Amino acid sequence: MNGKKILDEQLTYYRARAPEYDEWFMRTGRYDRGPEHRAEWFSEVAILEAAVEPVVKGKQVLELACGTGRWTKYLARWAAHTLAVDAAPEALQINKEQIRAANVDYLEADVFSWLPEKTFDVVFFSFWLSHIPPQRFASFLQMVRRALKPSGHAFFMDSLFEQASTARDHLAIDKSGFAQRKLNDGREFRIVKVFYEPAILEQRLRKDGWHGWVRSTGKFFLYGCMMKPAEIDEQ
Ligand SMILES: C[S@@+](CC[C@H](N)C(=O)[O-])C[C@H]1O[C@@H](n2cnc3c(N)ncnc32)[C@H](O)[C@@H]1O
């Protein structure tokens, strides 16, 4: 399967999944693994929330692959302004309806080809890094760099390699770089899913000149805050 084909299938999946997307985050439906699991999940979500607030407070934020707004909600609350970008009109529609914030603007765009027209204090992307094919990792980060003001920060969060994160009826996750996903109606899709180990991801970004850290919340998530490399050629 070539890179473009799987990215098209991935987007088709997220467009179809938009109305049921939040079941994953809320740990309901096929993601319901009981109260103990849910409590553990949300205690780690609280770590993410606490980390996001000081980074985006009062800032101009670009949110890439914003989805249905699980994190746009917090950006709307804490940031001065957010431009929320996603390629799925279905996700953008839900996001707009749920957030209804005057300080959030929306843009439908494919982040693999879109180039920002202005710069931001923070570029935020949640649960998106793992869906970037490894061969596009460098060009994606180059776009993030271009989107940042000098001394701007990229803040991201993503899934750790944890079987209990996925739906009960999904195949076990593996480290192939791909995942087989199902919708509630049984339709199946193949998507990109790359699991990163926080220390290795941090090392990789530091090698490219980013300054900052990548941490684990314990079991479910990684999150990172990296300052843009100083010596970038902005042309
Ligand atoms: C795993 S979801 C994450 C959504 C959201 N950031 C969150 O944390 O809930 C991935 C998102 O990427 C979007 N997406 C997929 N391919 C895209 C592309 N090429 N350009 C922009 N967004 C894309 C999907 O529509 C979906 O909303």
Distance 76 CA to ligand 1 centre (A): 18
Residue 28 Cα to ligand 1 midpoint, Å, equals: 20
Query: What token pair was written down for 201?
Result: 């991801």
Predicted confidence at residue 231, as pLDDT, reads 61
Distance 65 CA to ligand 1 centre (A): 4
pTM of whole model > 0.85?
A: yes
CA distance to 23, 75, 115, 219, per residue, from 42 (Å) = 13, 18, 34, 11
Q: Output the pLDDT for position 218.
A: 98
Tell me the CA–centroid distance for residue 192 and ligand 1, in Å. Answer: 12
Residue 1 confidence (pLDDT):
46
Q: Are 189 and 200 in contact (CB under 8 A)?
A: no
User: 3-class secondary structure for 63-100?
Assistant: EECCCCCCCHHHHHHHCCEEEEEECCHHHHHHHHHHHC
Given this model, what pLDDT does residue 203 score? 98
Closest CA to 75 of 157, 184, 195: 157
- Other beta carbons within 10 Å of 63: 30
Ligand 1 atom showing the smallest separation from residue 18 Cα: 27
User: So what's the pLDDT on residue 230?
Assistant: 84
Q: What parts of the chain have a pLDDT lower than 50?
A: 1, 232, 235
Tell how far the Cα of 39 is from the centroid of ligand 1, in angstroms: 25
d(C-alpha 77, C-alpha 94), whole Å: 17
Contact 224, 156 (CB under 8 A): yes
Q: What H or E segment, with its residue span, contains residue 215?
A: strand 211-216
Nearest-CA residue for atom 19 of ligand 1: 110
Q: Among 31, 52, 74, 127, which is best to mutate for testing ligand 1, by the most ligand atoms less than 8 A from CB?
A: 127
Ligand 1 center–CA 86 separation, angstroms: 6
pLDDT in tens, 193-222: 999 999 999 999 999 999 999 999 999 999
Can you say whether the dihedral through the CA atoms of 221, 195, 225, 157 is positive or negative? Answer: negative
Backbone phi and psi for residue 33, each to the nearest 5 degrees, phi listed first: -120, 25
Per-residue confidence (pLDDT) for residue 3, from 0 to 100? 82
pLDDT digits (tens, 9 = 90+) for 96-122: 999 999 999 999 999 999 999 999 999
From the list 160, 144, 158, 74, the residue with the least C-alpha distance to 111 is 144
| Closest C-alpha to ligand 1, atom 1 | 127
d(CA 181, CA 175): 15
Is there a contact between 98 and 22 (Cβ–Cβ < 8 Å)?
no
Q: Which residues of 195-222 are buried (b: 16+ CB within 10 A; e: fewer)?
A: bbebeebbeebeeeebeeebbebeebbb
Mutate to test the pocket of ligand 1, among 23, 86, 130 (most ligand atoms within 8 A of CB): 86
Q: Give every CB contact of residue 129 below 8 A, 6+ residues apart in sequence.
A: 156, 158, 194, 196
Please name which of 74, 106, 104 lies closest in space to residue 93, comparing C-alpha atoms.
Answer: 106
Separation of CA 67 and ligand 1 centre (Å): 5
Q: Ligand 1 — pocket residues by CB below 6 A?
A: 10-11, 14, 65-67, 70-71, 86-88, 91, 110-112, 126-128, 131
